[in-house]
Amino acid sequence: MESKHSYSRLIMFLSLSLLLSACSSTTTSEKATSKPQPIVAPDVLTQIDQPAQYYIDKIALANKPQAISWQLLAARALIAEGHTQPALDILMSVERNPLSTKQLFEVALVKSEAYLLEKRYQQAAGVLNFSSTLDTNEQAHWQRFYLLNATIAELLNNNAKAVEYRVALSDFLDSELHSSNNNHLWESASVIPNAELELLILRFKTENPTLAGWYQLAAIGQQYRTDPKRLIESLQTWKHDYPQHPALTGFPIELVKAMATTPYTPSQIAVLAPLTGKQSVAGKAIRDGMLSAYYQDTAAGSEHNDIALRFYDTAATSADTLYLQAIEDGADFVIGPLLKSNLSKVLPLVKDVPLISLNKLANAPAADNIYYFSLSSNDEAIAAAKKMQRDGIKQPLVLAPNNRTGNRLSAAFTQQWALLTQGTSETYKYKSRSDMQNTVTSLFSVTSSNQRINLMKNLVGTDIKSTTRSRRDIDAIYIIATPSEAMLAIPYIITTQNPYAPQVAVYASSRTHGNNLSKSQSRDLNGLIFSDMPWLLNPDRELKQQTLALWPNMSKIQQNLFAMGYDSFKLIPNLLQLRNFPNLRLAGQTGILYINDDGIIEREFSWAKYRSGKIKLEETNPETKPAP
C-alpha cells in the first residue's frame, strides 16, 4: 500500500519539476497567423505549455530529425497529463534513431519521470545510471537529473543519498528555489540514525564540508530533540562553525522558527485546581508535582526560579471567577483547571494570557496561546495501535470488558488502526471474569474447530485422533483489563492459540500494569507488552526516590497526577519551541512530549515487557511526524 507520505513526495516532485522547467525553458506557444508556418525543430528543453495532442500533431508534420524533438516534447506532455504508457511507447520509438548526447540525456530523464509516476522506483533510478558516460552543459538537465535522483532516494528511504543529491542540486538552482530544496534536504537528513550520521560526518568532514555541515546539523537536531534550550544553543554554535554554509542562505524553516522563538518567561503563574472537597486528592497531587519542579529549578539556579506560584481552589469558588481574579492579581500564565466542567467556563475568557489546561474537551477551540494537557487513557489505546504498526503487526484483535470503558478504549484503538492501515480489527467483549475463558475461546474460533471435530466423530461413528485448531490470521491482541483480569486471560490465550502458528503478541496499557504485584503474579503476565509513563517505569530515578520518601503512600493515580503537575511546570519555557518545531520533543515524567497543530500536548509512552516475572524496558522507539 502506497503511503500518503510517498504520494506527497510525488506531488512535490511534479510541482518543483514544472517550476524548474518554467525557469529554464523557452515556450512553444504560437501566435495565430493566416500564413502556414514551417515546422521548426524545437529545443528538447522547451517548456511544456500545450496539451499533449498539440505535440503529437507536430510529429506527423515534421521531417525525421525534427520529429525526434517533437516526440520528446510529446512524451513529456503525456507524462504531465498522467499518461505514462503512451509516453514510454514514444520513447521506445525515439531510441531506434541515432541520437545526440543532449537527446540521449533527455530520453533517460523522461523515461525516469514516467517510471517514477508509475511507482517503479528501482527502474526510475536505473535509467539514470549514465552520468559517467554522458555529459551535458545544460543546467536544466542537471536540475532534473539531481531532483529525480533525490526524489527516488527519498521514496526508497535512502536518506543519506537523498541528502547528497539535494546538495548537488543546489549548485544548479536559482536563489529563490534554495529554501525549498533545503527544507527537503533537512527532512531527509533529520531521520538518518544518529550512529550513521556520526560516520557520515567523519567521512565528509574533509572531503565535502558542505555535506558534513548538513549531517552535523541533523545530528544536533536529533541529540537535542528533547532539550529545546540546548538545541538553540547548539544551533548558534553550528552557525559559528559553518559561517559560509549554503544552509544559511535558506535555513530549514523548522530551525528558523525554533531559533526565532522567544520562550515564555512568566513572573507569576496562577494554578486553578481543586484543593478541597472530593477532588482534592487529585488537585493536591498536581500541586505537589508543580512545587517539586519549582523547587528543583530553584536549587539548580534556573533563570526561571524567581517565578511566583499562586494556587486557586476551584472547589471553593467558581473557576471562571478565579480565572478573572488571577488575571487581576497579575498572573501572566495560567495552569488549569483540571475538571472539564470548569474548563468549559474558563476557555471563553482566555485572551492574551497563555494557558495550559489540565484536561481537554471535544471540539475545544484551537488558539496560539492555549495548550491542552491530559492523561486520557484513550491516548494509550491510540499509542498501542501505532506501536503495533511499528512492530509489524498485521492483524490485531481487541479483548475488552463489556462496559463503557471497554467500549471507549476499543473504539479508540480500532479507529487509530484503521487510520494507520486502512485495515480492520475485531473486538471481543467479556462480561465478567468468569466469562473470560469463553471469550478467549471465541476470539480464536476454537469453538468452531471443536464443532467440526464432533461432526466428524458423529459421521465416522467412532473416535478419531484430533487436535483443536485455532485461527492463524491474528498476530496480536490488545487487551483492556485490570492486572487480575489480565492474569486470568493470558494463560487462556497461551493455551488456546494454534500450536503450529507463531505466538500471538499481547499488548496492554498502564491499566494492566500493577505497581505492587508479587513475583508470582508478575510471572502470570509473562510476555505482556504494555505502555506507561516514564515516571512509573523508572523507579530508580532520583526524583522519584525523593518524592516517595516524602509521600510514601501515594497511589498509582496520585503518582500519575504528580508527574502531570511536574511536567506542566517544566513545559512552560519550552512551549513555543515545541509548537513551532514539529520534530522537537521534551523528555517529561509523563512521556516524551510534543505539541500538535491544535495545541494539544501529545505523549510518547515508554514500553516494557514482563519477562520471567520481571519488567524489562524496551528500547525507545519514538513516533515520527510525518511527517510529516
Under DSSP, the state recorded for 129 is: T
Please, are residues 245 and 310 in contact by the beta-carbon 8 Å criterion? no
* Residues 499 and 396 both lie in one domain: yes
Residues 365 and 416 in one domain: no
The region, left, alpha or beta by phi > 0 then psi within -120 to 50, assigned to residue 489 is alpha
**Residue 70 in contact with residue 55, Cβ under 8 Å?**
yes
Domain-located, residue 624? no
Q: How far is CA 432 from CA 194, 310, 552, in A?
A: 48, 46, 33
Global pTM?
0.72
Residue 518 covered by a domain: yes
Picking from 259, 291, 316, the residue at the C-terminal end of a domain is 259
Structurally, how many domains does the chain consist of?
4
All three cell numbers of 498: 494454534
CATH of the domain at 182: 1.25.40.650
Domain with 478, as residue range(s), is 378-533
- Residues 73 and 144 placed together within one structural domain of the fold: yes
Q: How far apart are CA 183 and CA 251, in angstroms?
A: 8
Q: What three-state secondary structure class fits 348?
A: helix
The three cell numbers locating residue 275 = 484543593
Residue 131 is predicted with a pLDDT of 61
Complete DSSP assignment for 584-625: --EE-SSSEEEE-TTSBEEEEPEEEEEETTEEEEPPP-----
- Using an 8 Å Cβ cutoff, are 340 and 300 in contact? no
Indicate if 559 and 481 belong to the same structural domain: no
Name residue 593's beta-bridge partners: 586, 603
Closest of 229, 300, 266, 286 to residue 566, by C-alpha: 286
Query: What is the DSSP-derived secondary structure letter of residue 557?
Result: H
Is residue 468 within 8 Å of residue 439, measured between CB atoms?
Answer: no
Over residues 49-102, the pLDDT tens digits come to 899 899 898 888 888 778 898 999 999 999 999 999 999 999 999 999 999 888
Cβ within 8 Å of residue 77, ≥6 positions away: 48, 50, 51, 52, 54, 55
Residues 239 and 344 in one domain: no
Query: Same structural domain for residues 3 and 142?
Result: yes
We report the CATH number of the domain holding residue 437 as 3.40.50.2300
DSSP state of 95: T
Are 515 and 407 part of one and the same domain?
Answer: yes
Share of the chain above pLDDT 90, in %: 50
Residues 21 and 140 grouped into a single domain: yes
How far apart are the C-alpha atoms of 450 and 446, rounded to whole Å?
6
| Final residue of a structural domain among 229, 259, 289 | 259
- Same-domain status, 138 and 198: no
User: Closest by alpha carbon to 541, among 555, 559, 527, 557?
Assistant: 559
Query: CA-CA distance, 386 to 293, in Å (whole number)?
Result: 31
Same domain, 20 and 150: yes
Grid look-up 516475572 returns 613
My answer on whether 187 and 265 are in the same domain is no
Of the three residues 499, 514, 533, the one that is the final residue of a domain is 533
Rounded Cα–Cα distance for residues 118 and 95 (Å): 20
Does residue 615 fall inside a structural domain?
no
- pLDDT at residue 455 in the model: 39
Burial of 400 (C-beta count, 10 Å sphere; 0-12/13-18/19+): buried
Structural domain contains residue 161: no
**Within this chain, do residues 246 and 271 fall inside the same structural domain, yes or no?**
no
- Segments of the chain with pLDDT less than 50: 1-2, 4, 7, 11, 15, 18-19, 22, 27-36, 38, 446-462, 464-470, 621-628
CATH code assigned at 129: 1.25.40.10
CA distance 220 to 479: 39
